[in-house]
Chain A
Amino acid sequence: MSESVDTGILPDQKEPDLSYRDRFPLLALIIQRLLLSVALLFAVSVLIFGGVEALPGDFASTYLGQSATPQAVANIRKDLGLDRPVVTRYFEWLGNAVQSDFGTSWASRNSVSEQIGKRLGNSLFLAFCAAMISVPLAVGLGMLAVHFRNRIPDKIINVLSLAAISLPEFFIGYLLILFFAVKFGMATFPATVYDSMTFVERLKAVALPVATLVLVVLAHMMRMTRAAILSVMSSAYMETAELKGLGAFRAIVRHAAPNAVAPIINVVALNLAYLVVGVVVVEVVFVYPGMGQYMVDAVTVRDMPVVQACGLIFAAVYILLNMLADILAIVANPRLRHPR
């Protein structure tokens, strides 16, 4: 009797032939996610290029402004290659783009890639600094809010974050400038950076823009982190941990944390959107030489090669970051890491 009380009357269904998908679901999912991102990037490039083509508005006349004569327009169209079929031009553009050649700017006649090369690094530096500060802070505050759930600290955090998500980026930016740069003279404005700067100087220059970005992203991220942690804390296995007589610390570290990783990564990924958008506005506010400012300037003068290049790069960064977050979340899921 002690060997088995399994009835044994019903043989288990035969194991079906396992495909590679069933045997390595983790790998299969990751590959699937990678392919999806590539497809998405391709589709986005079509959208950005094709959408621009399909919308009304003739670049040539825009390019020439009010003084366009039909002859001049025709010449310009030929000059810019706009007289050739759309599909040809698209593949040419995409082919060049993947080799990081985005053509020449209509406005300045400079190489777009050269400009972007300088500015992309600046923007990424700004976003990276903001992420480094806001992610741990958001997770920490989220945990704090959960710990004091429905008590005073939680309510204060809730009210402040509700206010913070309602503030436009530029408002926060100018507030900080007025107080920290103008009134107290503690920080520099505008946030100019150049190649010969030391790292410390650079950090000092980006202090205010980074602070602005952090404030913008933090509130959103904190609210979602709180919700994610709360749902883990209220799960049945946390009750099991409590009924095992485990201390609060061990229960959180051992039982809550491993399950909270994936949802928190998800929250972070969702909030990358705020970061990408925030960078654009913050760069304009602080006159910071990055991609965002470059793009906004190009949009104002309808410099299409620059707009398309910047749009594609922003979208690509966003898609790649999301992909990375998704893959991390897949890896963090024990069900996928240890298939049946």
Chain B
Amino acid sequence: MHEALLAVRDLKIEAKIYPQGEAPRDVTIVDGVSFKLQKGKVLGLIGESGAGKSTVGLSALGYGRGGIRITGGEVLLNGQDILKLGKNGLRSLRGAKVCYVAQSAAAAFNPAHRLGEQVIEASVEHGIMSREEARERATYLFRVLGLPNPESFGERYPHQVSGGQLQRAMTAMALCPNPELIVFDEPTTALDVTTQIDVLAAIKHAIEETGVAALYITHDLAVVAQVADDIMVLRNGKTVEYGTARQIIEAPKEDYTKALVSVREMQHEEAADQTKPLLKLDNISAAYSNVVQVLFNVSMHLPKGQTLAIVGESGSGKSTLARVITGLLPPSEGKIVFEGEDLPKALAQRTREQLRRIQMIYQIADTAMNPRQTVRDIIGRPLTFYYGMHGRKKTERVAELLDQIEMGPQFLDRYPAELSGGQKQRVAIARALAAKPDLILCDEPTSALDPLVAEGILKLLMRLQAETEISYVFITHDIAIVRAIADSVAVMHRGRLVRFGPKHVALSPPFDDYTDLLLKSVPEMRIGWLEEVLKTRRMESAGN
């Protein structure tokens, strides 16, 4: 076997942490990771947050963020250990032989300079090519990456182009000096799903076109399956499984990998009777500060004991719709009917009983709970507020609720900071349940969680619905979740309802253009999905 471009052997990385009230200490965040990457190949690094995947990726540039130090092992690039390079050696490596694409291109580009200048900077500074050559190459790369007006694109400033374009410009910046290796750090995570597919396709195309090797870091197995030759699954800084992309996706060996692969397979049998509505939105329009209209004549309804999933990308108005239902943003037109009665438009006009019956769960559980209150206070407050419960009765009920969300009474006196992400979201659910509501609005409650934790939350919500006949309005951008939990589906786009109906109707053809695009943009957990989609697209555009 000929020598690998990048060979990492027994990598060990430590970080200094500063726990409050304790002496700072070192923790191991990557332990014993080894892999090899051949020229022109792509290795996917996958794992949950805190798995150490970004840290491993950055070690290929000899770089550690904050107090992170590489304490053991070797990182061989073309047989040379880059950990032994001095300051100058590393400098001539970075931006020349190894380049980096960050998750947030919006923050990674300097707002003060034109994109073109930043794209060619490394190539020129390292003396790899002249300014003119670099400009030409940038224009070529802009074209390869499908950026609009490649000749003049470089004259724009970062704030003048969209997020998807910035991410592609960042890829161009990494490719410009003709590096041997690029580290992609979650390059599509911050993007909408319909934008993600374009950027993903552009990156894949550019990798093929230039023959560069890549480390592709992501938490989304379906995404990495489209671009990687090999995949390494990381968890808690250790390797779980390492193999070819096909083997990992089609024949995973480890339980953890199997769980990751099957996480999108949860299914929900939709309710047959969808006639008697609990909540009805009638022709709702809404605007911010009475100027910017964000919702246009939206109507939908939700029967008792069922789940209505509202799907859309950022800017679709799906979260605004939740604000309208809660009364935080009174609609400019239209009616909200709850159990046959008109609900007052503004929060302040609603009675306590009306407020009790609609509860809400947020995307980020951290900010949805007062960090200065214990679990007992957080879950207990609705009990006191709506039911006047105090003392032992209240404590008993809180313990009961904790039991319902599969957490024990030992959590009663913990603060939110002492809980894991999944536990926090469970406490938020318990707080909503404490009010004994008829309806819970769920605003992307699982999108900030790791896939396995998210699945646990979804299963909990479904179990609670089966037990208590509670209804959910579930706002999400993730079609897989819609399939997993919904009875009826509403698709929103730019403030308008483009599709509404029972799940089997809404998610079956014939589709409108937007739903079609949305459904086709969701990465599927199989090799070759991206090629198929692009192929059908080309055929369609050829047919037009």
Contacts and interface: CB of A to CB of B under 8 A. Distances in A.
A243 B182 CA distance: 11
B423 interface: no
A304 B198 CA distance: 72
B517 A244 contact: no
A3 B194 contact: no
A245 B517 CA distance: 40
Contacts of B122: 244-246
A9 B94 contact: no
Given A237-B108, A240-B108, A245-B92, A5 B125 contact: no
B108 A245 contact: no
Interface string B186-222: 0000000010011001100100010000000000000
A112 B201 CA distance: 76
Nearest to B516: A9
Interface string B295-320: 00000000000000000000000000
B107 A334 contact: no
B458 interface: no
B110 A237 contact: yes
A239 interface: yes
B276 interface: no
Contacts of B110: 237, 240-241, 255, 258-259
Contacts of B121: 244, 246, 254
A240 B108 CA distance: 6
A335 B143 contact: no
A13 B146 contact: no
B500 interface: no
A98 to B, nearest CB: 37
Interface string A1-38: 11111111110010000000000000000000000000
A91 B200 CA distance: 68
A254 B112 CA distance: 9
A13 B112 CA distance: 27
Contacts of B61: 243
Interface in B509-540: 513-514, 517, 534, 537-538
A246 B125 contact: yes
Given A1-B205, A236-B102, A245 B125 contact: yes
B159 interface: yes
Nearest to B92: A245
Interface in B39-92: 61, 63, 65, 90-92
A334 B494 contact: no
Contacts of A237: 107-111
A240 to B, nearest CB: 5
Interface in B406-421: none
Size range of the chain B interface in the assembly: 35 or more
B542 to A, nearest CB: 12
Interface string A326-340: 000000001100101
A196 interface: no
Nearest to A262: B112
Given A6-B146, A6-B198, A259 B111 contact: yes
A242 interface: yes
A250 interface: yes
Size range of the chain A interface in the assembly: 20 to 34
Contacts of B159: 334-335, 338, 340
A243 B94 contact: yes
Contacts of B209: 2
B113 A13 contact: no
Main DSSP-derived SS at the B contact region: helix
Contacts of B92: 245
Which of A13, A242, A247: most chain B Cβ within 10 A? A242
A71 interface: no
Given A5-B205, A237-B107, A338 B94 contact: no
Nearest to B90: A245
Contacts of B201: 5
Interface in A253-297: 254-255, 258-259
A245 B126 contact: yes
B462 interface: no
Which of A8, A250, A334: most chain B Cβ within 10 A? A334
B389 interface: no
A330 B96 CA distance: 36
Nearest to B65: A239
A266 B157 CA distance: 23
A337 B95 CA distance: 29
B154 to A, nearest CB: 13
B283 interface: no
B63 A242 contact: yes
B184 interface: no
B112 A7 contact: no
A239 B157 contact: no
Given A243-B63, A334-B157, A335-B159, A13 B494 contact: yes
A235 interface: yes
Given A5-B201, A6-B146, A245-B90, A240 B517 contact: no
Contacts of A7: 194, 197-198, 517, 537
A8 B541 contact: yes
A258 B108 CA distance: 15
B514 A10 contact: yes
A4 B146 CA distance: 4
15 contacts: A4-B146, A10-B513, A236-B102, A237-B107, A240-B108, A240-B110, A243-B99, A244-B122, A245-B122, A245-B125, A246-B95, A247-B91, A254-B113, A334-B157, A338-B157
Given A236-B104, A245-B94, 11 more contacts: A5-B205, A6-B198, A237-B109, A240-B108, A240-B110, A244-B121, A245-B122, A246-B91, A255-B112, A258-B110, A340-B159
Q: Which 9 A-B pairs have the closest CB atoms?
A: A244-B95, A245-B94, A245-B95, A236-B107, A258-B112, A5-B146, A237-B110, A244-B122, A245-B91
Interface of A: 1-10, 13, 235-237, 239-247, 250, 254-255, 258-259, 334-335, 338, 340
